[in-house]
């Protein structure tokens, strides 16, 4: 079951442009009966590994924007351990309610994008990009082809990274639902670049949050983590094979509905047990 959960996590992460990794926590709670904090920690590790696999596959396509990614990831990596610590201080039910509220919000964003920008739903992290998708980001280079080191540009990226890191550590999510819009707004890059770059950021921020979780959890079930990670890698690879055939408006709507139902069911089950 843990491998199947990992496959689903990797598949959904790869077949969405943003917001896919949030499925991880409710599935781990609902199907494996994990405590909320442990599910968040396992989710961070599994999502980080799956995102790293996707990053490697996008490397040669020149769609990853390294400097904006590092700026965002720096802020995220610094804040993720704090988010994980903050989550450990909250009551599990409070944490779960906050997570579900976030999940409902992300599902709403995914549904709205499917209605208002259907062309963007076909741009997913497992997509196979080519050189024609590459454009020079306005925030990254000046007219002399030098990187724009202005405090305004880098400050905006780092601030967004801090917010992503906080939510990632707190709820075990990848943060793509914030990163992709931020990259589109701050750097004015293409949707394909923003989606591909988000995988690198997710892997770095997720790793930071997971390390802080592992340090504070001496009895971490490494066997379970390994199985979920293996499944996640398989799911990401499978997503790459089928992305251009299945990604689109209908799939994104299905994901958004499924996210609401799974999160709501998880909350109801935990409330009935408390």
The two structure tokens encoding residue 231: 């499944």
Torsion over CA of 118, 121, 122 and 128, rounded to 10 degrees? 150
pLDDT above 60 for 134: no
Distance of CA 118 to the CA centre of its chain: 21
pLDDT above 60: residue 162: yes
Helix (H) or strand (E) holding 160: helix 151-171
Q: Name the token pair of 67.
A: 């400097």
Q: How confident is the model at residue 246, as a pLDDT?
A: 65
- The pLDDT of residue 230: 93
pLDDT over 70 at 128, yes or no: no
Q: What average pLDDT score do residues 122-132 get?
A: 54
Is residue 44 very low, low, confident or very high in pLDDT (cuts 50, 70, 90)?
A: confident
pLDDT at 175 over 90: no
Token duo for residue 230: 């293996």
- Number of structural domains (the chain) is 1
111 near 255, Cβ under 8 Å? no
Asked if the model's pLDDT at residue 271 lies above 60, the reply is: yes
Lowest mean pLDDT among 127-141, 170-184, 189-203, 245-259: 127-141
SS percent in the chain: helix, strand, coil, step 5: 80, 0, 20
Locate all alpha helices (DSSP H) within 59-150, ordered by sequence. Answer: 66-89, 92-116
Average pLDDT, the chain: 79
Stretch among 74-78, 79-83, 137-141 having the lowest mean pLDDT: 137-141
- Residue 107 banded pLDDT, cuts 50, 70, 90: confident
Q: How far apart are CA 142 and CA 48, in angstroms?
A: 32
Most confident of 85-99, 106-120, 137-151, 194-208: 85-99
Q: Which two tokens stand for residue 167?
A: 């939510």
Q: Which domain holds residue 173?
A: 2-273
Looking at residue 148, its pLDDT comes to 62
Rounded (10°) CA dihedral 16, 171, 27, 100: -90
Triad 132, 134, 137: Cα angle to 5°: 155
Q: What is the pLDDT of residue 138?
A: 46
Rounded percentage of the chain residues whose pLDDT exceeds 90: 5
As a whole-number percent, the residues of the chain with pLDDT over 70 amount to: 80
Which has more pLDDT, 251 or 144? 251
Mean pLDDT of 18-33: 80
- Phi and psi at residue 147, in whole multiples of 5°? -65, 135
- In this prediction, residue 224 has a pLDDT band, given cuts at 50, 70 and 90, of very high
pLDDT at 125 over 70: no
Q: Which residues contact 170 (CB under 8 A, 6 or more apart)?
A: 40, 83, 84, 86, 87, 95, 98
What is the average per-residue pLDDT within 218-230?
90
Instruction: Report helix, strand or coil for 107.
Output: helix
């Amino acid at each position: 079951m843990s491998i199947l959960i990992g496959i689903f996590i990797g598949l959904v992460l790869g077949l969405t442009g943003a917001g896919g990794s949030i499925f991880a926590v409710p599935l781990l709670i609902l199907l494996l009966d994990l405590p909320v904090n442990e599910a968040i920690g396992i989710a961070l590790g599994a999502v980080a590994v799956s995102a790293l696999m996707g990053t490697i596959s996008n490397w040669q396509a020149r769609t990853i924007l390294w400097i904006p990614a590092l700026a965002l990831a720096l802020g995220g990596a610094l804040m993720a351990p704090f988010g994980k610590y903050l989550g450990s201080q909250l009551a599990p039910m409070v944490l779960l309610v906050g997570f579900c509220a976030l999940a409902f919000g992300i599902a709403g964003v995914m549904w709205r994008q499917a209605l208002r920008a259907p062309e963007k739903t076909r741009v997913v992290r497992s997509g196979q990009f080519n050189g024609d998708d590459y454009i020079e980001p306005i925030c990254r280079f000046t007219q002399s082809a030098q990187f724009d080191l202005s405090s305004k540009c880098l400050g905006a990226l780092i601030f967004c990274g801090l917010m992503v890191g906080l939510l990632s550590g707190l709820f075990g999510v990848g943060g793509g639902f914030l990163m992709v819009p931020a990259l589109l707004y701050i750097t004015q890059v293409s949707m394909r670049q923003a989606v591909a770059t988000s995988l690198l950021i997710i892997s770095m921020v997720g790793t930071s949050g997971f390390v802080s979780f592992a340090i504070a959890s001496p009895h971490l079930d490494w066997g379970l983590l390994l199985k979920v990670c293996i499944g996640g890698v398989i799911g990401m690879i499978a997503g790459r094979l089928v992305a251009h055939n299945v990604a689109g408006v209908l799939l994104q709507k299905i994901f958004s509905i499924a996210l609401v139902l799974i999160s709501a069911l998880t909350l109801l089950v935990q409330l009935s047990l408390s």
